[in-house]
């Protein structure tokens, strides 16, 4: 069984998120992609919409797609003094709940991967499960022309990216796969790049459109309706 964890603010969830999740599921033969809104993201500066609203919007967006599911695994921490959500902790909890032998992959935007050195315990996210890590691989969605050199620079000290890449696909689009190597040159987790997912929309732009009373063409109708009915994003400064 192959399961991908797709975390993020989803503030709000939009068609770009949906396209990434569906492309990853199709091209890498994933059994399930878990879209998990984060309770409190340490690298985000703005105050997100309430977690329950973001989770409900994700649920409505993915409802028509059996390979996608909303997940509460990254819900707010139980106590305020426990601090923000860290991916390494969330994946450890998820690893303990998935069926034995399941492959757990991390799905993210390539731009998000560039901040990896600032994440907590990034080595645990690069080391394969059989070597004490948490993941069976990374899946990165990138816009056309994205620089592979920037991925190399984003790796923490001691880690590198193999020179050789294998290009494959399942008829729904390309996948470029390379190995992440540790300081001894031993393979870590594979890195699967989806190099053609150009998504000009950003959640920041969508929130600004909604704040000024406009509509956004990159929201699925159910999410747009939920935002209207619950008055989200209208009072942002």
For the chain, the three-class secondary structure string (H helix, E strand, C coil) is CEEEEEEECCCCCCHHHHHHHHHHHHHCCCCEEEEEECCCCCCCCCCCCCHHHHHHHHHHHHCCCCCEEECCCCCCCCCHHHCCCCHHHHHHHHHHHCCCCCEEEEEEEHHHHCCHHHCCCHHHHHCEHHHCCCECEEEEECCCCCCHHHHHHHCCCCCEECCCCEEEECCCCEEEEEEEECCCCCEEEEEEEECCCCCCCCHHHHHHHHHCCCCCCCCCHHHHHHHHHHCCCCCCC
**pLDDT category of residue 209 using cuts at 50, 70 and 90:** confident
Give residue-wise pLDDT tens across range 41-80.
766 656 789 999 999 999 999 999 999 999 999 999 765 5
**pLDDT category of residue 235 using cuts at 50, 70 and 90:** low
Mean pLDDT of the chain: 89
For the chain, domains (ranges, CATH) are: 2-200 (3.40.50.620)
What mean pLDDT do residues 183-189 have? 88
């Amino acid at each position: 069984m192959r399961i991908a964890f797709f975390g993020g603010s989803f503030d709000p969830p939009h068609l770009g998120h949906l396209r990434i999740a569906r492309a990853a599921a199709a091209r890498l033969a994933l059994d399930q992609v878990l879209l998990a809104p984060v309770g409190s993201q340490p690298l985000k500066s703005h105050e997100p919409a309430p977690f329950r609203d973001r989770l409900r919007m994700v649920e409505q967006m993915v409802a028509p797609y059996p390979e996608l599911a909303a997940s509460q695994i990254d819900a707010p921490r139980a106590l305020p003094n426990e601090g923000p959500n860290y991916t390494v902790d969330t994946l450890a909890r998820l690893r303990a709940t998935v069926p034995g032998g399941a492959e757990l992959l991390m799905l993210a935007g390539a731009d998000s991967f560039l901040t990896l050195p600032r994440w907590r315990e990034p080595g645990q996210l690069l080391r394969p499960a059989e070597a004490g890590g948490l993941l069976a691989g990374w899946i990165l969605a990138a816009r056309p022309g994205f620089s592979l050199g920037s991925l190399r620079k984003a790796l923490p000290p001691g880690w590198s990216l193999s020179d050789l890449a294998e290009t494959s696909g399942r008829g729904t689009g390309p996948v470029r796969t390379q190995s992440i190597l540790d300081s001894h040159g031993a393979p870590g987790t594979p890195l699967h790049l989806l190099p053609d997912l150009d998504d000009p929309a950003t959640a920041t732009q969508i929130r600004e459109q909604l704040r000024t009373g406009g509509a956004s063409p990159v929201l699925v109708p159910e999410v747009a309706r939920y935002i209207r009915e619950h008055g989200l994003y209208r009072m942002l400064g």
